[in-house]
Chain A
């Protein structure tokens, strides 16, 4: 008769499926998004992100509410969808300054990055997961509010009249919202990659955005340089791009061709991606 033995019941071998790097990216994306929004964390971590999201949606709720009470003939006075970001620019920039530092800095500060890079993730897939999480969270304030406004207006017959017009507007909102979130993801990841401290990264983000506003403003309006140099302004060029996606533009920038705006966006995006990649390529994680 064989001897019966009871082994430690607290640990079992695992011979089930292993889902590889795709699961690693999914898990890191979800975990990062939860962390940024303060989910599964004490209430104090939820305050700022939820407050900013609320601020971003507030104008949409107000405009939809106004549309419900205003007579039909006055509904035309309501802001257009293409103008929506003008009401929430500060909230978006504040959120940008918060999200990427919260996503990237703790992993380096607490050296959790060494655990991630000892998993199926490598530097590329790690950054991809982080970028997905940051862009997704930023889309909450760049994509969600105009979509909410469109839905609210459409439900009150104050939106586009024909399905084809509605589809075009939806596509423009999607393109514009995703463009903003992806653009600011690249910029804010680059800045957050330069320091381990969240507060410094957030402050640097705001300072750099404000700095580009000053530099571009001085060059264009004080020194009389070409208005094309407005592409240096991180607080203006993406929102101008958004206007042009909606087929309009800032009256002051009418002389700046679309191509210049697009090239400016691509340039900033490339700089953002390049700096981030350069920083993470150089990081030694377990020495």
Chain B
């Protein structure tokens, strides 16, 4: 399946508020970030993907079906972990995950086995018979992930899965999402307002802003598409004299000076050698030599501009 979710001119209003304004994008296999500030329309879009609402305009297909008209069939193949707490605190994690796997259509014995497997995958194998309410925030987020993957969905929707987690738990959760997406081959949509999280975890991204799609595609392609030229960042020890000494040796190259930092146009692989030789000739200490990459933040800011 080359397209998992396709939205064409999707509009959704809540009263007078336009949550989605002719949003158009495609989500393919792998891990896709749905990025945007709060109020961008991400959660509304996830609700449309689940077939919970009918779009006011446009069309959306999920796993080649219309989720509004074929809701139960589509939702049987989707795993959903909402941003908020959603599991009763007095129920053991295993019971909750098994029950939700049954609700997604798995036979009872299969659901029990897979619930256990899913809880082991998220690192809660030993804790699986503990009540959800006795678990830490990080563990509860893992239980939510477990219930989203236990029935082997074709698409996993995760809404702000690192909310409320400390840095270590956050790192572990992102690792789990990469594991689920890349090693198990599940298609994942990760809704987040955190650029860095999406950049490190996802293969592609859809950027929403005020209900509109402002950018979409593979993260590598989006970064490359915005670059007008390849550049090297060079930072040296010392003051203006040291910088001037290096610049003097870089004759024939296009160089911009920004404080102690030089930005050198990368015209070919020979540029690396020329920069190395220039620094050696000038006798200054090198602090940093790095190819400049356009971050997702650059893409995001440019798209919203």
Contacts and interface: CB of A to CB of B under 8 A. Distances in A.
A14 B152 CA distance: 6
Contacts of B152: 12-14
A115 B100 contact: yes
18 contacts: A7-B183, A8-B184, A11-B149, A13-B152, A14-B114, A16-B107, A18-B106, A35-B91, A40-B92, A110-B87, A110-B88, A115-B80, A118-B82, A119-B103, A120-B104, A121-B72, A286-B52, A287-B44
Given A10-B117, A10-B120, A20-B72, A111 B84 contact: yes
Contacts of A13: 152, 184-185
A28 interface: yes
A-side interface mostly: loop
5 nearest A-B pairs in the assembled complex, by CB-CB distance: A27-B102, A14-B152, A118-B80, A18-B105, A120-B72
B110 A16 contact: yes
B101 to A, nearest CB: 9
Interface string B27-49: 00000000000000001101100
B43 A286 contact: yes
A112 B50 contact: no
Contact of A18 (B14, B76, B87, B121): B76
Among A24, A27, A122, A287, find the residue whose CB has the most chain B CB atoms closer than 10 A: A27
Given A110-B89, A115-B100, A122 B72 contact: yes
B160 to A, nearest CB: 12
A286 B73 contact: no
Nearest to A19: B105
B10 interface: no
Interface string A1-30: 000000110111110111111011011100
Interface string A58-85: 0000000000000000000000000000
A114 B110 CA distance: 23
B147 interface: yes
B179 interface: yes
A112 B88 contact: yes
Given A112-B88, A286-B43, A120 B110 contact: no
A136 B102 CA distance: 20
Nearest to A23: B105
Interface residues of B, number: 51
Contact of A8 (B47, B86, B179): B179
B75 A23 contact: no
Contact of B105 (A7, A20, A107): A20
A35 to B, nearest CB: 8
Given A10-B121, A125-B72, 9 more contacts: A11-B184, A20-B72, A23-B106, A24-B72, A24-B102, A35-B91, A111-B86, A119-B103, A287-B47
Contacts of B118: 11
Nearest to B180: A11
Interface in A29-59: 31, 35, 40-42, 45
A116 interface: yes
B117 A12 contact: yes
B80 to A, nearest CB: 4
Contacts of A17: 107
Contacts of B50: 117-118, 286
Nearest to B46: A286
Interface in B37-93: 43-44, 46-47, 50, 52, 71-73, 75-76, 78, 80, 82, 84-92
Size bracket, chain A contacts: 35 or more
Contacts of B92: 40
Interface of A: 7-8, 10-14, 16-21, 23-24, 26-28, 31, 35, 40-42, 45, 106-107, 110-112, 114-122, 125, 285-287
Nearest to A7: B183
B95 interface: yes
Contacts of A285: 52
Among A13, A17, A107, A286, find the residue whose CB has the most chain B CB atoms closer than 10 A: A286
A110 B106 contact: no
A125 B107 CA distance: 18
A109 B80 CA distance: 19
A22 to B, nearest CB: 9
B103 A28 contact: yes
Among B87, B106, B179, find the residue whose CB has the most chain A CB atoms closer than 10 A: B106
A45 B88 CA distance: 14
Nearest to A11: B121
Contacts of A121: 72, 103
